[in-house]
Amino acid sequence: MTASAVYDGWVRHRRHTPVEHEFTYRHAMVLLDLGELPEVLDSHPFYSATGRAPVRFRREDYMGDPERPLDECVRDLVEERTGARPRGAVRLLTTLRTFGHSFNPVSFYYCFTPGSERVEAVVAQVTNTPWGETHSYVLGRSDEHAVMKDTMDKVFHVSPFIGMDNRYEWRVTEPNGKLLVHIDERDPEGNGVFDATLSLDRHELTRGRLTRMLLRFPATSLRVVFLIYWNALRLKLKGAPYHPHPKTDIPEATR
């Protein structure tokens, strides 16, 4: 049995002000223990981490210098932001490149304590569209509660219908049988502006499970991009105010 796994469930987005809007969709992702690559994917005829395949892990799609191991780039970033370098396993929750297309609104890197299943830090690598920019938020662990919590300023432009003067409140569980990520975005007065929830159930990563995921979700990233633009149009028609890209200097943490 591998530490890598398949997760499926749902994603929900809710806007609270100045207009209300909500949508939910089914979603599937893989959790890859980076120490198990490439074998964990290369054993399937339609998946690969070393060459061309309908579904593939491509190192260039993720943070840091593509010539360096991804887990070391993650460790470098966590050490830079927190002062402590993770020494245990690093596991990536992501949507893999499928039929040549890749877009992840957010991928999560879970950094574990050596020899245990305790998560000590989480990195959320966020990508916007159509700009194709990326930024990574690092969530530290301050206590032993099952749910990790962190709060930080918003520094990266994602939606043209939400301003930048906000803060994020994160709640993240460890990737066990049930995985949950919840983000509240609040304005300077503390009022809820937006929230997003990712709720997924874990399945063992087997050839059969990978095949079922490909058949059920054959164009996941294209579907996500369509939903982003479709719901942006709906927000525009509802009269949501437009916030242009601030073109500020974003601390580069990914590419």
| C-beta of residue 31 within 8 angstroms of C-beta of residue 14 | no
pLDDT computed for residue 247 by the predictor: 78
Averaged pLDDT, 181-205: 98
Q: Distance between CA 128 and CA 245 in Å, rounded?
A: 11
Q: What is the pLDDT of residues 38-50, one digit of tens each?
A: 999 999 999 999 9
pLDDT computed for residue 142 by the predictor: 72
Please check whether residue 232 lies inside any domain of the structure: yes
Q: Distance between CA 91 and CA 111 in Å, rounded?
A: 7
DSSP strand pairing (106-112 vs 55-56): unpaired
Tokens matching residue 76: 């470098």
Averaged pLDDT, 208-213: 97
Give the pTM.
0.95
Please check whether residue 248 lies inside any domain of the structure: no
Whole-number percent of the chain with pLDDT over 70: 97
Residue 199 has pLDDT above 50, yes or no: yes
Q: Which residues contact 183 (CB under 8 A, 6 or more apart)?
A: 168, 169, 170, 171, 195, 196, 197
Please check whether residue 251 lies inside any domain of the structure: no
pLDDT computed for residue 144 by the predictor: 75
Whole-number percent of the chain with pLDDT over 90: 92
Averaged pLDDT, 200-227: 97
Q: Containing domain of residue 37, as a range?
A: 5-237
| C-beta of residue 121 within 8 angstroms of C-beta of residue 140 | yes
Please check whether residue 242 lies inside any domain of the structure: no
Please check whether residue 19 lies inside any domain of the structure: yes
Please check whether residue 66 lies inside any domain of the structure: yes
Averaged pLDDT, 237-254: 75
Averaged pLDDT, 195-205: 98
Residue 254 has pLDDT above 50, yes or no: no
List the strands of the sheet with 119-127, edge to edge. Answer: 134-140, 119-127, 106-112, 90-94, 21-33, 5-15, 192-204, 178-186, 167-173, 147-153
Please check whether residue 244 lies inside any domain of the structure: no
pLDDT computed for residue 248 by the predictor: 57
Q: How many domains does the chain have?
A: 1
Residue 207 has pLDDT above 60, yes or no: yes
pLDDT computed for residue 253 by the predictor: 45
| C-beta of residue 185 within 8 angstroms of C-beta of residue 194 | yes
pLDDT computed for residue 46 by the predictor: 97
Please check whether residue 120 lies inside any domain of the structure: yes
Averaged pLDDT, 155-169: 95
pLDDT computed for residue 57 by the predictor: 98
C-alpha distance across the termini of the chain, in Å = 33
Q: Distance between CA 240 and CA 233 in Å, rounded?
A: 10
Beta-bridge partner residues of 136: 125
pLDDT computed for residue 149 by the predictor: 93
Mean residue pLDDT of the chain comes to 94
Q: Distance between CA 201 and CA 210 in Å, rounded?
A: 15
- Find the DSSP H helices in the chain: 39-42, 70-82, 207-216, 220-237
Q: What is the pLDDT of residues 86-122, one digit of tens each?
A: 999 999 999 999 999 999 999 999 999 999 999 999 9
